[in-house]
Structure 1
Amino acid sequence: MIIHYVVKNKKGEMQEGKIKALNKREAFEFFQKDNLIVLSLEEEGKSVLGQEITIFNRVSNKEIVIFTRQLATTFSAKVALAPSLNALSKNISKQYFKRIITNLAADIESGTAFSKALSKYPKVFSRFYISMVKIGETSGSLDLTLNHLADYLEKQYYLNAKVKSAMFYPIFILVALIGAIVVIMVYIVPKIVPIIESSGSKLPASTQMLISLSNFTRAYGWWILAISILIITGLVYLIKKNQRARYYFDLSKLKMPILGSVFQKFYINRIVTNLQILIKGGIPILSAIETTADTTNNLIYQKIMQEASRRVKAGQTISSVFYQYPDRIPVLVSQMISTGEQTGRLEIVLEKISDFYTREVDNVVDSISELIQPLLILILGGGVAFLAISVIMPIYNMTSAF
């Protein structure tokens, strides 16, 4: 990569130029050997032809959680920040993430604040993450802040994984069931049909339906599969690229039977937890609201927080905005926040709400899992019974005729 540098020699003379290096750390070590003080190292923008393919350059939430916990552990053990980052980068297998951590270490060694270095990678480190690090730097307790941040990220990752499992488990079972039915219709039923029809007797309604479904699946199955893939791909693309489509998708999640309440509790938990941590760290209330809005992954709640930001800027309270959305934020939550605002104990109230909704999400997801399992067993049992009756009844009638 080409790196634009600004350095200073022992006489205090500034030097500026470009250097080719594998990364910022290599460039930093090069100048250090010449006893030059590095003031700035910036990667130069690449041309379109020279750009790196970024389709796979994504860092997962799990990787961020593991990295933060490891960094908190090493930094708490009194290992300086830059050496901690360099040590962690050696254990990271993904080259894209490894390069980011190496660049962070080089930035810190050149005198850049950790929070400022992180802000160069907004797609990897959220605004909330950067704000928390800045709190630690300002208060002089970065080790404690990193540990609190790691605890928070682990808690959110656990909740997120639980909600996803509650949503995808029944989908996975239903897809597997549909796949099994298709295999039966395409490969097994056609081999049985000639035997059944050879009897010449009238076939039961269920058997006639089974044969019709088999013929339809064999004739149009590939078309149905291709159209389904196109529709799903188109919807995913539309949701990612179009704000209006994303809005209605987020709204539909909140209106889903059973799972809608889980999503609502999950987003409320994230909002109050983020607010509580930021306010506790000394971030002004307005900045805390804006940061929380940016890190809310649902457009419905994001718009509520953006409105709260505008109202608070105009001198109103958070609760006055929340009261206007009783379908999205329970009145009890708004009342508790109002009490916290009036008594000056908002941070404590938000922590209580956060703890309550963490338990609520856990309990609701566990309850849904317990309800879904017998329901899926009934569906599977019904499908097996239908196939058994449709195939066995005609064969039984044939044997009875003899």
Structure 2
Amino acid sequence: MTMYAYKAKKTDGTITKGKLETSNKKEALIELEHLNLIVFSIKELNSFLYKDVHIGKPIKSKDFVLFLRQFSTLIESGILLLDALEILSKQIDNKILKEALEQIALQVREGIALSAALSKFPKLFPNLLVNMIQSGEASGRLDDVLKRMADYYEKQHRLRQKVSTALTYPAVVGSMAVLITIFLLVFIVPIFADLFLSFGEDLPAYTQFVLNLSQVIQNYWWIILLIAIILLSGFKELTKRESTAFIIDGFLLKIPVVGVFIQKSILARMTQTLSSLLSSSVPILEAVDITSNVMSNRVVKRVLQESKDSLERGESLSIPMQRHWMFPDLITQMITVGESSGALDEMLHKVAEVYDQELEEASNKLQSLIEPILIVFLAAIVGAIVLAIIIPMFSLFETF
């Protein structure tokens, strides 16, 4: 694919500039003509130099939720789809989303469906949103679907915030522990090492070990860093393998305290997603399949695929869940009741609310448990290094 920069005039006479990635110049001109643009100039660019580079996600979760909420409000107010897109493209601050909405508005003006236009920007608009909008277009309930999606992604944003809040503190304290340890071993311990050497006394084995560790870090830090990078890269490659990732995801769920928190966050997201899809009249087989693709944990993905197979055989959605240790009785019983009563979406919504509340409580509990453990851990590391310095000091004082 080649990147092209173009300058053209819209049907209303305004001048527009932009970039387009196609196989060749001819295809670029055809695509621009389909958008009813009168092309003044088009120039091939170096795709590597002009490729958009993003650190992290191109759009923050908070901004994405705000965009969906505004979009939903505009459509619900009776504003035409094209007008809503043009209004949002002028109001949005995020440059990447702004440019995407401008392109989407041009395509919608040409009669292309909104879902098809959104699907051309997979890094900005998830498949779940595209599929739901496509369902809304087919049923004529686009305003309702957008409102549901705004609610759904807002809940997902709050869910991620809870997980992030619970895990940020231990990550920060753990990083501080590593940095403080390295600082003591590299800058403080060598000062005392020279002092001990000047006295010529034999040092305790523990103190000698700490001094040797300090020397290794000072002289071979680059080797340690290289090994760490290799190990991290190797671990990242392993996680790309389905079998290894499945084992890792299962292990994370079984970690005491933390595993329960992760389990609740996964179940909350799963029930929220499945409930939103079913309440939007998405067929249950398709809803389960989409939910499976949304989930990042391989254990849940596998069970959901087994549930889909169970449905295709004419059996209950809950049967594979009943056989798996990760799914508590609350979920399986509510799903069974929902299937028999024809109100599965409502039952899943209630379960999602329960787990959302439990996740809040689990987050508070996790922080209250981890905080003292991390403080003791940090104190133990610093104390161990200080102790290695103090022990020989007592021996020296006794000598004098």
TM bucket normalised to smaller:
0.7 to 0.9
Over 3 Å counting, the alpha-carbon distance change for 1:165 and 1:140 in structure 2 is same
Counterpart in 1 of 2:112?
Answer: 112
CA–CA distance in structure 1, aligned partners of residues 82 and 191 of structure 2:
68
Residue matched to 1:360 = 358
1:328 aligns to 2:336 (yes or no): no
CA offset digits 1:236-294 (Å, max 9, x no partner): 24424x33333333223223332222222222222221121111111221221122122
Query: How much does 1:232 deviate?
Result: 0.5
Choose from 378, 381, 390 the match for 1:380. 378
Could you list the per-position Cα deviations for residues 328-384 of structure 1 after superposition, in whole angstroms to 9, with x for gaps in the alignment? Answer: 211332122112211222222111111111111121122111111111111122223
1:96/1:24 CA distance change after superposition, 3 Å = farther
TM-score (norm: length of structure 2) = 0.82
Gap change, CA 1:161 and 1:310, over 3 Å in 2: same
Matched, 1:392 2:400: no
**CA deviation after TM superposition for structure 1 residue 125, in Å:** 2.2
Question: Following superposition of structure 1 onto structure 2, how do residues 95-244 of structure 1 map, counting pairs within 5 Å?
Answer: 95-240=95-240, 242-244=241-243
Output the amino acid matched with 1:157: H
Q: Secondary structure at the match of 2:36?
A: helix
1:56 counterpart residue number = 54
| Alpha-carbon offset, residue 209 of structure 1 | 3.0
Distance in 1, matches of 2:105 and 2:128, equals 21
Q: SS in structure 1 opposite 2:318? A: helix
Distance 1:287-1:218 versus aligned 2 partners, 3 A rule: same
Query: Structure 1: which amino acid aligns with 2:271?
Result: V
The answer (yes or no) to whether the contact 2:275–2:345 under 8 Å persists in 1 is yes
Compute the displacement of 1:92 (Å): 4.5
Counterpart amino acid of 1:97? L
Query: Could you give the per-residue CA deviations for residues 132-167 of structure 1, whole angstroms, max 9, x where no partner exists?
Result: 323443454433432321121121122123223433
What is the Cα-based RMSD across aligned positions, in Å? Answer: 3.2
Residues 76-85 or 347-356, more deviating: 76-85
Do the aligned partners of residues 244 and 95 (structure 1) sit closer, same or farther apart at CA in structure 2, a change above 3 Å counting?
farther
CA contact (8 A) 2:318 2:332 kept: yes
Measured in 2, the distance between the counterparts of 1:197 and 1:51 equals 56
Report whether the alignment pairs 1:281 with 2:280: yes
- What residue in structure 1 maps to residue 346 of structure 2? 348
Bigger Cα displacement from structure 2, 64-73 vs 86-95:
86-95
Paired letter, 1:28: N
Residue in 2 aligned with 1:40? none
* Deviation at residue 228 of structure 1 after TM alignment: 0.4
1:318 is paired with a residue of what secondary structure? coil
The 3 A distance-change label for structure 1 pair 47 and 199 is closer
Offset of 1:19 from its aligned partner? 7.7
Percent identical residues = 29
Kindly tell me the number of residue pairs found equivalent between the two proteins. 373
Distance 1:301 1:24, change over 3 A: farther
For 1:60 and 1:272, the matched residues in 2 are separated by 25
TM-score normalized by the length of structure 1:
0.81
Q: Which amino acid aligns with 1:341?
A: E
Alignment match, 2:266: 267
CA distance in 2, matches of 1:51, 1:336: 54
Deviation of 1:205 (Å)? 4.5
TM-superposed CA distance for 1:98, in Å, is 3.1
Q: Which amino acid aligns with 1:149?
A: M
Instruction: Return the offset for 1:47.
Output: 11
Distance 1:26 1:98 in 2: 21
Aligned partners of 2:91 and 2:226: how far apart in 1? 42
Q: Which runs of 5+ in 2 are unaligned?
A: 7-24
Counterpart position of 1:73: 73
| C-alpha spacing 1:386/1:235, structure 2 compared with 1 (3 Å) | closer
Unaligned runs of 5+ in 1: 4-16, 32-45
Cα distance in 2, alignment partners of residues 71 and 294 from structure 1: 25
- Contact persistence 2:186–2:218 (CA under 8 A): yes
Compared CA separation, residues 257 and 23, structure 1 to 2 (3 A):
farther
Please give the alpha-carbon distance, in whole angstroms, between the structure 2 residues aligned to 1:316 and 1:86.
Answer: 47
Residues 264, 328 of structure 1: 8 Å contact kept: yes
CA distance in 1, matches of 2:296, 2:33: 34
Superposed CA deviations along residues 157-183 of structure 1, whole A, max 9, x for unmatched, are 221232234334323322221122112
Query: How many Å separate the matches in 2 of 1:217 and 1:245?
Result: 32
Q: Does structure 1 retain, via aligned residues, the 8 Å contact 2:239–2:245?
A: yes
The answer for the alignment partner of 1:12 in structure 2 is none
Shift of 1:316: 1.2
Bigger mean CA offset, 69-78 vs 287-296 = 69-78
The Cα shift of 1:23 comes to 8.5
